[in-house]
Structure 1
Amino acid sequence: MDRRVFNSSVLAGSLAGLLLPGAQAEQAPRSLGKPVIGLLVYPGMILLDLTGPLTVFNIMQADVRLIAASMTPVATDVGIAVAPTHSFDAAPAELDVLFVPGGLKGTVDGMNDARTLDFVASRGELARFVTSVCTGSLLLGAAGLLKGFNATSHWYVRDLLPLMGAKMVADRVVTDRNRVTAGGVTAGIDFGLALAAKLTGEDNAKRIQLLIEYDPQPPFAAGSPERAGADSANAVLTQRGPLIRQAEQAARAAGQRLGVP
Protein backbone atom coordinates (compact mmCIF):
# COMPACT_ATOMS: atom_id res chain seq x y z
CA MET A 1 0.00 0.00 0.00
CA ASP A 2 1.22 3.50 -0.80
CA ARG A 3 2.21 4.97 2.57
CA ARG A 4 0.86 8.32 1.43
CA VAL A 5 -2.65 6.85 1.18
CA PHE A 6 -4.63 6.96 4.42
CA ASN A 7 -7.39 4.50 5.29
CA SER A 8 -9.45 4.31 8.47
CA SER A 9 -8.39 0.68 9.01
CA VAL A 10 -4.83 1.86 9.61
CA LEU A 11 -5.98 4.25 12.32
CA ALA A 12 -8.21 1.61 13.87
CA GLY A 13 -5.29 -0.77 14.22
CA SER A 14 -3.01 1.87 15.73
CA LEU A 15 -5.61 2.64 18.41
CA ALA A 16 -6.35 -0.94 19.39
CA GLY A 17 -4.43 -0.52 22.64
CA LEU A 18 -6.42 2.57 23.61
CA LEU A 19 -9.87 0.99 23.77
CA LEU A 20 -11.89 1.23 26.94
CA PRO A 21 -11.56 -1.57 29.52
CA GLY A 22 -13.29 -4.71 28.33
CA ALA A 23 -13.46 -3.55 24.71
CA GLN A 24 -11.77 -5.42 21.89
CA ALA A 25 -10.37 -4.18 18.62
CA GLU A 26 -13.01 -4.43 15.93
CA GLN A 27 -12.33 -6.78 13.05
CA ALA A 28 -13.78 -6.53 9.56
CA PRO A 29 -16.56 -7.05 8.79
CA ARG A 30 -17.84 -4.80 11.55
CA SER A 31 -20.52 -6.24 13.79
CA LEU A 32 -24.10 -5.05 13.84
CA GLY A 33 -25.42 -2.63 16.43
CA LYS A 34 -22.64 -0.06 16.17
CA PRO A 35 -23.41 3.46 14.94
CA VAL A 36 -22.82 3.78 11.21
CA ILE A 37 -20.93 7.01 10.53
CA GLY A 38 -20.53 8.17 6.95
CA LEU A 39 -17.65 10.61 6.50
CA LEU A 40 -17.63 12.50 3.22
CA VAL A 41 -14.16 12.73 1.68
CA TYR A 42 -13.49 15.09 -1.21
CA PRO A 43 -10.49 16.66 -2.98
CA GLY A 44 -8.88 19.53 -1.11
CA MET A 45 -10.37 18.73 2.28
CA ILE A 46 -8.31 19.39 5.41
CA LEU A 47 -7.00 16.07 6.68
CA LEU A 48 -7.14 17.11 10.33
CA ASP A 49 -10.85 17.94 9.94
CA LEU A 50 -11.30 14.24 9.18
CA THR A 51 -8.76 12.55 11.44
CA GLY A 52 -9.62 14.46 14.61
CA PRO A 53 -13.20 13.16 14.78
CA LEU A 54 -12.19 9.85 13.17
CA THR A 55 -9.79 9.16 16.03
CA VAL A 56 -12.69 9.49 18.47
CA PHE A 57 -15.04 7.42 16.29
CA ASN A 58 -12.54 4.57 16.02
CA ILE A 59 -11.93 4.43 19.76
CA MET A 60 -15.68 4.16 20.32
CA GLN A 61 -15.66 1.43 17.63
CA ALA A 62 -18.20 3.00 15.33
CA ASP A 63 -18.87 1.50 11.91
CA VAL A 64 -16.96 4.07 9.86
CA ARG A 65 -17.52 4.57 6.13
CA LEU A 66 -15.24 6.91 4.15
CA ILE A 67 -17.45 7.99 1.26
CA ALA A 68 -16.34 9.71 -1.95
CA ALA A 69 -17.71 10.28 -5.42
CA SER A 70 -15.59 7.35 -6.65
CA MET A 71 -13.12 4.85 -5.21
CA THR A 72 -10.12 6.87 -6.39
CA PRO A 73 -7.89 8.02 -3.47
CA VAL A 74 -8.74 11.58 -2.52
CA ALA A 75 -6.02 14.24 -2.25
CA THR A 76 -6.01 16.35 0.92
CA ASP A 77 -4.42 19.64 1.94
CA VAL A 78 -1.21 18.02 3.24
CA GLY A 79 -0.56 15.73 0.28
CA ILE A 80 -1.74 12.54 2.00
CA ALA A 81 -4.48 10.83 0.03
CA VAL A 82 -7.47 9.19 1.69
CA ALA A 83 -8.66 5.84 0.34
CA PRO A 84 -12.48 5.73 0.30
CA THR A 85 -14.27 2.64 1.55
CA HIS A 86 -17.46 3.43 -0.38
CA SER A 87 -18.49 5.41 -3.43
CA PHE A 88 -21.61 7.58 -3.50
CA ASP A 89 -23.43 4.80 -5.33
CA ALA A 90 -22.44 2.11 -2.80
CA ALA A 91 -22.90 4.13 0.39
CA PRO A 92 -25.69 3.13 2.79
CA ALA A 93 -28.94 5.00 2.23
CA GLU A 94 -29.43 5.43 5.98
CA LEU A 95 -26.62 6.56 8.27
CA ASP A 96 -26.63 7.18 11.98
CA VAL A 97 -24.28 10.11 11.34
CA LEU A 98 -23.48 12.06 8.20
CA PHE A 99 -20.23 13.99 8.66
CA VAL A 100 -18.73 16.60 6.32
CA PRO A 101 -15.20 17.96 6.91
CA GLY A 102 -13.94 21.28 5.61
CA GLY A 103 -11.27 22.71 3.33
CA LEU A 104 -12.40 25.92 1.66
CA LYS A 105 -11.38 25.26 -1.95
CA GLY A 106 -12.82 21.74 -1.91
CA THR A 107 -15.92 22.94 -0.07
CA VAL A 108 -16.62 25.58 -2.72
CA ASP A 109 -16.17 22.98 -5.46
CA GLY A 110 -18.64 20.72 -3.64
CA MET A 111 -21.15 23.55 -3.24
CA ASN A 112 -21.08 23.94 -7.01
CA ASP A 113 -21.30 20.22 -7.80
CA ALA A 114 -24.83 18.88 -8.24
CA ARG A 115 -23.87 15.24 -7.63
CA THR A 116 -22.16 16.03 -4.32
CA LEU A 117 -25.09 18.17 -3.18
CA ASP A 118 -27.60 15.48 -4.15
CA PHE A 119 -25.66 12.87 -2.19
CA VAL A 120 -25.32 15.04 0.92
CA ALA A 121 -28.99 16.04 0.79
CA SER A 122 -30.26 12.48 0.33
CA ARG A 123 -28.16 11.02 3.16
CA GLY A 124 -28.78 14.00 5.42
CA GLU A 125 -32.55 13.69 5.12
CA LEU A 126 -32.42 10.20 6.65
CA ALA A 127 -29.46 10.49 9.03
CA ARG A 128 -29.94 10.47 12.78
CA PHE A 129 -27.33 13.24 13.08
CA VAL A 130 -26.18 15.69 10.40
CA THR A 131 -22.76 17.07 11.27
CA SER A 132 -19.73 19.02 10.08
CA VAL A 133 -16.43 20.57 11.04
CA CYS A 134 -14.96 23.79 9.67
CA THR A 135 -16.27 24.87 6.25
CA GLY A 136 -18.12 21.57 5.89
CA SER A 137 -21.20 23.36 7.23
CA LEU A 138 -21.27 25.47 4.06
CA LEU A 139 -21.71 22.27 2.09
CA LEU A 140 -24.52 21.19 4.42
CA GLY A 141 -26.10 24.59 3.96
CA ALA A 142 -25.85 24.43 0.17
CA ALA A 143 -27.56 21.02 0.30
CA GLY A 144 -30.48 22.60 2.17
CA LEU A 145 -29.78 20.83 5.46
CA LEU A 146 -29.30 23.87 7.70
CA LYS A 147 -32.40 25.95 6.89
CA GLY A 148 -33.91 27.01 10.21
CA PHE A 149 -31.04 25.56 12.27
CA ASN A 150 -28.38 27.19 14.42
CA ALA A 151 -24.94 26.41 13.03
CA THR A 152 -21.31 27.48 12.96
CA SER A 153 -18.31 27.19 10.67
CA HIS A 154 -14.72 28.40 10.36
CA TRP A 155 -14.66 31.96 11.68
CA TYR A 156 -13.82 33.53 8.34
CA VAL A 157 -16.89 32.13 6.56
CA ARG A 158 -19.45 31.57 9.30
CA ASP A 159 -21.19 34.85 8.38
CA LEU A 160 -22.18 33.17 5.09
CA LEU A 161 -24.43 30.62 6.78
CA PRO A 162 -27.51 32.91 6.94
CA LEU A 163 -27.37 33.22 3.14
CA MET A 164 -28.50 29.58 3.10
CA GLY A 165 -31.14 29.89 5.79
CA ALA A 166 -29.13 29.02 8.90
CA LYS A 167 -28.73 31.11 12.03
CA MET A 168 -25.03 31.68 12.69
CA VAL A 169 -23.80 31.06 16.23
CA ALA A 170 -20.17 31.91 16.97
CA ASP A 171 -19.45 28.94 19.24
CA ARG A 172 -16.86 26.19 18.90
CA VAL A 173 -19.51 23.44 18.73
CA VAL A 174 -23.17 24.19 18.04
CA THR A 175 -25.93 21.63 18.56
CA ASP A 176 -29.47 22.30 17.35
CA ARG A 177 -31.72 19.25 17.47
CA ASN A 178 -29.93 16.67 15.30
CA ARG A 179 -27.54 19.14 13.67
CA VAL A 180 -24.05 19.35 15.19
CA THR A 181 -21.58 21.74 13.58
CA ALA A 182 -18.14 22.86 14.72
CA GLY A 183 -15.67 25.65 14.03
CA GLY A 184 -12.39 25.41 12.19
CA VAL A 185 -10.01 22.45 11.99
CA THR A 186 -9.00 21.70 15.60
CA ALA A 187 -12.62 22.04 16.73
CA GLY A 188 -13.06 18.61 15.15
CA ILE A 189 -11.82 16.94 18.33
CA ASP A 190 -14.30 18.92 20.45
CA PHE A 191 -17.01 17.93 17.99
CA GLY A 192 -16.00 14.27 18.04
CA LEU A 193 -16.16 14.12 21.83
CA ALA A 194 -19.51 15.96 21.92
CA LEU A 195 -20.96 13.48 19.43
CA ALA A 196 -19.45 10.53 21.29
CA ALA A 197 -21.31 11.70 24.40
CA LYS A 198 -24.58 11.66 22.45
CA LEU A 199 -23.92 8.23 20.96
CA THR A 200 -22.23 6.40 23.85
CA GLY A 201 -22.78 8.51 26.97
CA GLU A 202 -20.87 11.32 28.66
CA ASP A 203 -18.78 9.06 30.90
CA ASN A 204 -17.47 7.14 27.90
CA ALA A 205 -16.73 10.38 26.03
CA LYS A 206 -14.75 11.63 29.03
CA ARG A 207 -12.66 8.45 29.05
CA ILE A 208 -11.97 8.86 25.34
CA GLN A 209 -10.85 12.44 26.01
CA LEU A 210 -8.44 11.14 28.62
CA LEU A 211 -7.18 8.37 26.34
CA ILE A 212 -6.23 10.87 23.64
CA GLU A 213 -4.96 13.29 26.32
CA TYR A 214 -7.02 16.13 24.94
CA ASP A 215 -6.15 18.94 27.35
CA PRO A 216 -5.41 21.95 25.11
CA GLN A 217 -2.85 24.43 26.36
CA PRO A 218 -1.87 26.36 23.22
CA PRO A 219 1.38 28.33 23.28
CA PHE A 220 -0.37 31.51 22.17
CA ALA A 221 -3.72 33.14 22.89
CA ALA A 222 -4.34 33.54 19.17
CA GLY A 223 -6.83 30.83 18.24
CA SER A 224 -9.74 33.15 17.48
CA PRO A 225 -9.95 36.51 15.72
CA GLU A 226 -10.95 38.15 18.99
CA ARG A 227 -7.87 36.85 20.80
CA ALA A 228 -5.47 37.19 17.90
CA GLY A 229 -6.38 40.83 17.29
CA ALA A 230 -7.39 42.85 14.27
CA ASP A 231 -3.99 42.86 12.55
CA SER A 232 -3.70 39.07 12.49
CA ALA A 233 -7.36 38.57 11.56
CA ASN A 234 -7.12 41.03 8.68
CA ALA A 235 -3.94 39.36 7.41
CA VAL A 236 -5.73 36.00 7.28
CA LEU A 237 -8.77 37.54 5.59
CA THR A 238 -6.54 39.15 2.97
CA GLN A 239 -4.72 35.89 2.31
CA ARG A 240 -7.92 33.87 2.02
CA GLY A 241 -9.93 36.65 0.39
CA PRO A 242 -10.29 35.17 -3.12
CA LEU A 243 -11.57 31.84 -1.79
CA ILE A 244 -13.88 33.55 0.70
CA ARG A 245 -15.41 35.54 -2.15
CA GLN A 246 -15.91 32.33 -4.14
CA ALA A 247 -17.60 30.79 -1.10
CA GLU A 248 -19.89 33.80 -0.82
CA GLN A 249 -20.88 33.49 -4.48
CA ALA A 250 -21.63 29.78 -4.01
CA ALA A 251 -23.61 30.47 -0.83
CA ARG A 252 -25.69 33.18 -2.52
CA ALA A 253 -26.42 30.88 -5.45
CA ALA A 254 -27.42 28.10 -3.06
CA GLY A 255 -29.66 30.44 -1.09
CA GLN A 256 -31.40 31.54 -4.26
CA ARG A 257 -31.89 27.92 -5.29
CA LEU A 258 -33.27 27.09 -1.83
CA GLY A 259 -35.63 30.06 -1.81
CA VAL A 260 -33.93 31.84 1.09
CA PRO A 261 -35.16 35.46 1.16
Structure 2
Amino acid sequence: MLAQIVLFDGFDLLDALAPYEVLWAGGDIAGGALKVELVSFEGAREVPSTPTGMSVKATGRIDLERADLLIIPGAAGSLGGGGPGSIPALLASAVGTGLADVLHQALGKPGLTVGTVCGGSLLLGMAGLLKGRRATTNHSALEALKATGADVIAARIVDDGNLVTAAGVTSGLDLGVYLLERTVGPRVAHGVEALFQFERRGTVWRAQGHEALAW
Protein backbone atom coordinates (compact mmCIF):
# COMPACT_ATOMS: atom_id res chain seq x y z
CA MET A 1 0.00 0.00 0.00
CA LEU A 2 1.05 3.58 -0.59
CA ALA A 3 0.21 6.72 1.37
CA GLN A 4 0.96 10.08 -0.22
CA ILE A 5 1.00 13.22 1.91
CA VAL A 6 0.36 16.33 -0.13
CA LEU A 7 2.46 19.45 0.49
CA PHE A 8 1.56 22.92 -0.78
CA ASP A 9 3.03 26.36 -0.18
CA GLY A 10 2.21 27.39 3.37
CA PHE A 11 1.32 23.90 4.64
CA ASP A 12 1.49 23.27 8.37
CA LEU A 13 4.53 21.20 9.32
CA LEU A 14 2.94 19.16 12.11
CA ASP A 15 -0.22 18.52 10.07
CA ALA A 16 1.91 16.79 7.46
CA LEU A 17 4.78 15.29 9.43
CA ALA A 18 2.82 13.80 12.35
CA PRO A 19 0.84 11.38 10.12
CA TYR A 20 3.96 10.84 8.00
CA GLU A 21 5.95 9.55 10.97
CA VAL A 22 3.08 7.39 12.26
CA LEU A 23 2.38 5.82 8.86
CA TRP A 24 6.08 5.36 8.09
CA ALA A 25 6.62 3.60 11.43
CA GLY A 26 3.56 1.43 10.85
CA GLY A 27 4.81 0.39 7.44
CA ASP A 28 8.22 -0.38 8.89
CA ILE A 29 6.99 -2.63 11.70
CA ALA A 30 4.57 -4.27 9.26
CA GLY A 31 7.50 -5.38 7.10
CA GLY A 32 6.99 -2.82 4.34
CA ALA A 33 3.23 -3.35 3.97
CA LEU A 34 2.78 0.43 3.74
CA LYS A 35 5.04 2.99 2.04
CA VAL A 36 4.78 6.75 2.59
CA GLU A 37 5.75 9.60 0.25
CA LEU A 38 5.74 13.38 0.49
CA VAL A 39 4.37 14.77 -2.77
CA SER A 40 3.02 17.96 -4.31
CA PHE A 41 0.68 18.84 -7.16
CA GLU A 42 3.61 20.23 -9.15
CA GLY A 43 5.99 17.32 -8.53
CA ALA A 44 9.39 17.09 -6.85
CA ARG A 45 10.36 20.43 -5.27
CA GLU A 46 11.18 22.20 -2.02
CA VAL A 47 7.85 23.22 -0.49
CA PRO A 48 7.90 26.13 1.99
CA SER A 49 5.89 26.02 5.18
CA THR A 50 4.89 29.08 7.17
CA PRO A 51 5.37 31.01 9.37
CA THR A 52 8.81 29.46 10.02
CA GLY A 53 9.84 29.50 6.38
CA MET A 54 11.15 25.95 6.73
CA SER A 55 10.94 23.92 3.53
CA VAL A 56 10.33 20.21 3.12
CA LYS A 57 11.15 18.32 -0.05
CA ALA A 58 8.35 16.69 -1.99
CA THR A 59 9.90 13.73 -3.77
CA GLY A 60 7.32 13.39 -6.51
CA ARG A 61 3.89 14.24 -7.89
CA ILE A 62 0.48 13.08 -6.66
CA ASP A 63 -0.20 9.74 -8.34
CA LEU A 64 -3.77 8.51 -7.99
CA GLU A 65 -2.95 5.33 -9.88
CA ARG A 66 -0.54 4.25 -7.13
CA ALA A 67 -1.90 5.85 -3.97
CA ASP A 68 -4.20 4.08 -1.52
CA LEU A 69 -4.20 6.95 0.98
CA LEU A 70 -3.97 10.66 0.18
CA ILE A 71 -3.53 12.98 3.15
CA ILE A 72 -4.08 16.73 3.01
CA PRO A 73 -2.66 18.95 5.78
CA GLY A 74 -3.89 22.39 6.69
CA ALA A 75 -2.03 25.68 6.41
CA ALA A 76 0.08 27.56 8.95
CA GLY A 77 -0.36 31.32 8.88
CA SER A 78 -2.03 34.25 10.58
CA LEU A 79 -5.49 33.59 12.01
CA GLY A 80 -6.82 37.09 11.50
CA GLY A 81 -7.07 39.31 8.46
CA GLY A 82 -7.25 38.41 4.81
CA GLY A 83 -3.67 39.01 3.72
CA PRO A 84 -1.64 36.57 1.62
CA GLY A 85 -0.15 35.03 4.76
CA SER A 86 -3.50 34.23 6.35
CA ILE A 87 -4.66 30.63 6.61
CA PRO A 88 -7.74 31.14 4.37
CA ALA A 89 -5.56 32.81 1.72
CA LEU A 90 -3.00 30.01 1.79
CA LEU A 91 -5.72 27.36 1.48
CA ALA A 92 -7.37 29.27 -1.38
CA SER A 93 -4.03 29.54 -3.15
CA ALA A 94 -3.55 25.77 -2.88
CA VAL A 95 -7.03 25.20 -4.32
CA GLY A 96 -6.16 27.50 -7.22
CA THR A 97 -3.13 25.43 -8.27
CA GLY A 98 -5.32 22.72 -9.77
CA LEU A 99 -5.17 20.60 -6.63
CA ALA A 100 -8.98 20.77 -6.41
CA ASP A 101 -9.38 18.74 -9.61
CA VAL A 102 -7.00 16.07 -8.33
CA LEU A 103 -8.84 15.84 -5.02
CA HIS A 104 -12.17 15.54 -6.85
CA GLN A 105 -10.75 12.61 -8.79
CA ALA A 106 -9.34 11.10 -5.60
CA LEU A 107 -12.70 11.15 -3.83
CA GLY A 108 -14.25 9.40 -6.83
CA LYS A 109 -11.62 6.67 -7.12
CA PRO A 110 -12.67 3.29 -5.68
CA GLY A 111 -10.28 1.96 -3.08
CA LEU A 112 -8.63 5.31 -2.34
CA THR A 113 -9.14 7.05 1.02
CA VAL A 114 -8.60 10.78 1.47
CA GLY A 115 -7.55 11.94 4.93
CA THR A 116 -7.25 15.50 6.20
CA VAL A 117 -5.69 17.16 9.22
CA CYS A 118 -6.93 20.43 10.73
CA GLY A 119 -7.57 22.93 7.90
CA GLY A 120 -7.07 20.25 5.24
CA SER A 121 -10.81 19.58 5.36
CA LEU A 122 -11.47 23.30 4.87
CA LEU A 123 -9.29 23.15 1.76
CA LEU A 124 -11.59 20.42 0.40
CA GLY A 125 -14.62 22.44 1.43
CA MET A 126 -13.35 25.56 -0.34
CA ALA A 127 -12.95 23.41 -3.45
CA GLY A 128 -16.65 22.46 -3.23
CA LEU A 129 -15.92 18.82 -2.39
CA LEU A 130 -17.59 18.44 1.00
CA LYS A 131 -21.24 19.19 0.27
CA GLY A 132 -23.22 16.66 2.29
CA ARG A 133 -20.08 14.94 3.57
CA ARG A 134 -19.50 14.43 7.29
CA ALA A 135 -16.27 16.10 8.38
CA THR A 136 -14.42 17.91 11.14
CA THR A 137 -11.64 20.47 11.42
CA ASN A 138 -9.94 22.71 13.99
CA HIS A 139 -12.49 23.95 16.54
CA SER A 140 -11.90 27.55 15.43
CA ALA A 141 -13.00 26.77 11.86
CA LEU A 142 -16.07 24.58 12.40
CA GLU A 143 -18.45 27.34 11.30
CA ALA A 144 -16.34 28.08 8.23
CA LEU A 145 -16.39 24.38 7.35
CA LYS A 146 -20.17 24.27 7.79
CA ALA A 147 -20.48 27.21 5.39
CA THR A 148 -18.94 25.05 2.63
CA GLY A 149 -21.89 22.62 2.84
CA ALA A 150 -20.23 19.99 5.01
CA ASP A 151 -22.17 18.12 7.69
CA VAL A 152 -19.88 19.17 10.53
CA ILE A 153 -19.23 16.75 13.40
CA ALA A 154 -17.36 18.11 16.43
CA ALA A 155 -15.22 15.01 16.95
CA ARG A 156 -11.47 14.44 16.94
CA ILE A 157 -11.70 11.96 14.04
CA VAL A 158 -14.65 11.57 11.66
CA ASP A 159 -14.81 8.50 9.40
CA ASP A 160 -17.09 9.10 6.42
CA GLY A 161 -16.04 6.09 4.35
CA ASN A 162 -13.46 7.19 1.81
CA LEU A 163 -13.01 10.49 3.66
CA VAL A 164 -11.43 10.56 7.13
CA THR A 165 -10.97 13.98 8.69
CA ALA A 166 -9.09 15.01 11.83
CA ALA A 167 -9.62 18.07 14.02
CA GLY A 168 -6.81 20.22 15.47
CA VAL A 169 -3.11 20.04 14.63
CA THR A 170 -2.05 17.25 17.00
CA SER A 171 -4.92 15.05 15.81
CA GLY A 172 -2.68 14.17 12.86
CA LEU A 173 -1.14 11.60 15.20
CA ASP A 174 -4.58 10.13 15.90
CA LEU A 175 -5.41 10.12 12.20
CA GLY A 176 -2.24 8.21 11.40
CA VAL A 177 -2.89 5.56 14.05
CA TYR A 178 -6.52 5.16 12.98
CA LEU A 179 -5.59 4.82 9.32
CA LEU A 180 -3.05 2.16 10.28
CA GLU A 181 -5.79 0.29 12.12
CA ARG A 182 -8.07 0.55 9.08
CA THR A 183 -5.53 -0.44 6.47
CA VAL A 184 -2.83 -2.61 8.06
CA GLY A 185 -4.60 -3.77 11.20
CA PRO A 186 -4.95 -3.08 14.93
CA ARG A 187 -1.82 -4.99 15.95
CA VAL A 188 0.35 -2.70 13.86
CA ALA A 189 -1.55 0.37 15.10
CA HIS A 190 -1.05 -0.76 18.69
CA GLY A 191 2.63 -1.39 18.00
CA VAL A 192 3.08 2.19 16.79
CA GLU A 193 1.25 3.53 19.83
CA ALA A 194 3.69 1.60 22.02
CA LEU A 195 6.68 2.77 19.99
CA PHE A 196 5.65 6.44 20.15
CA GLN A 197 4.31 6.21 23.73
CA PHE A 198 1.10 7.73 22.41
CA GLU A 199 -2.51 6.55 22.64
CA ARG A 200 -5.18 7.66 20.19
CA ARG A 201 -7.65 9.98 21.90
CA GLY A 202 -11.43 9.86 21.83
CA THR A 203 -13.96 7.84 19.86
CA VAL A 204 -13.76 7.86 16.08
CA TRP A 205 -17.15 9.13 14.88
CA ARG A 206 -18.89 6.90 12.33
CA ALA A 207 -22.50 6.86 11.14
CA GLN A 208 -23.23 3.55 12.84
CA GLY A 209 -25.40 2.32 15.68
CA HIS A 210 -28.10 4.22 17.55
CA GLU A 211 -28.34 7.93 16.96
CA ALA A 212 -27.29 9.93 20.03
CA LEU A 213 -30.06 12.00 21.57
CA ALA A 214 -29.34 15.62 22.45
CA TRP A 215 -28.70 16.31 26.14
TM, length-normalised to structure 1: 0.64
In the alignment, the residues of structure 2 paired with residue 117 and residue 81 of structure 1 have an alpha-carbon distance, to the nearest angstrom, of 22
* TM superposition shift of 1:215: 5.0
The answer on whether the counterparts of 2:22 and 2:177 sit within 8 Å (CA) in structure 1 is yes
1:93 counterpart = 2:93: no
The answer on whether the counterparts of 1:74 and 1:84 sit within 8 Å (CA) in structure 2 is yes
Q: Greater helix percent: which structure?
A: 1
SS of the counterpart of 2:137? Answer: coil
Structure showing greater Rg: 1
Q: Greater strand percent: which structure?
A: 2
Q: Name the structure 1 match of 2:55.
A: 81
Q: Name the structure 2 match of 1:200.
A: 184
* Deviation beyond 4 Å, 4+ runs, structure 1: none
Larger relative contact order (Cα-Cα within 8 Å, sequence gap ≥ 6): 2
Q: Name the structure 1 match of 2:101.
A: 118
Q: How many residues align?
A: 180
* TM superposition shift of 1:64: 1.7
The answer on whether the counterparts of 1:94 and 1:123 sit within 8 Å (CA) in structure 2 is no
- Shift of the 166–94 alpha-carbon distance from structure 1 to 2, 3 Å rule, reads farther
Q: Name the structure 2 match of 1:171.
A: 155
Give the alignment of 1:49-198 within 5 angstroms: 49-61=15-27, 62-70=34-42, 71-77=44-50, 78-88=52-62, 91-103=63-75, 104=87, 105-111=89-95, 113=96, 115-126=98-109, 128-198=112-182
1:41 counterpart = 2:7: yes
For residues 158-215 of structure 1, give each alpha carbon's deviation from its aligned partner in whole angstroms, at most 9, with x where no partner exists. 2122322210011111111221100111010011111111011122211111101115
The answer on whether the counterparts of 1:73 and 1:84 sit within 8 Å (CA) in structure 2 is yes
TM, length-normalised to structure 2: 0.76
Amino acid in structure 1 at the alignment position of 2:49: T
* TM superposition shift of 1:72: 2.3
The answer on whether the counterparts of 1:37 and 1:63 sit within 8 Å (CA) in structure 2 is yes
Q: Name the structure 1 match of 2:81.
A: none
* TM superposition shift of 1:122: 2.0
SS of the counterpart of 2:46? Answer: coil
* TM superposition shift of 1:63: 1.9
* TM superposition shift of 1:94: 4.8
In the alignment, the residues of structure 1 paired with residue 68 and residue 199 of structure 2 have an alpha-carbon distance, to the nearest angstrom, of 28
SS of the counterpart of 1:190? Answer: helix
* TM superposition shift of 1:82: 1.1
In the alignment, the residues of structure 1 paired with residue 3 and residue 199 of structure 2 have an alpha-carbon distance, to the nearest angstrom, of 25
Percent identity of equivalent pairs: 31
Moved more, 196-205 or 137-146: 137-146
State the Cα RMSD in Å.
2.0
For residues 135-180 of structure 1, give each alpha carbon's deviation from its aligned partner in whole angstroms, at most 9, with x where no partner exists. 0001222334322221001111121223222100111111112211
In the alignment, the residues of structure 2 paired with residue 197 and residue 43 of structure 1 have an alpha-carbon distance, to the nearest angstrom, of 30
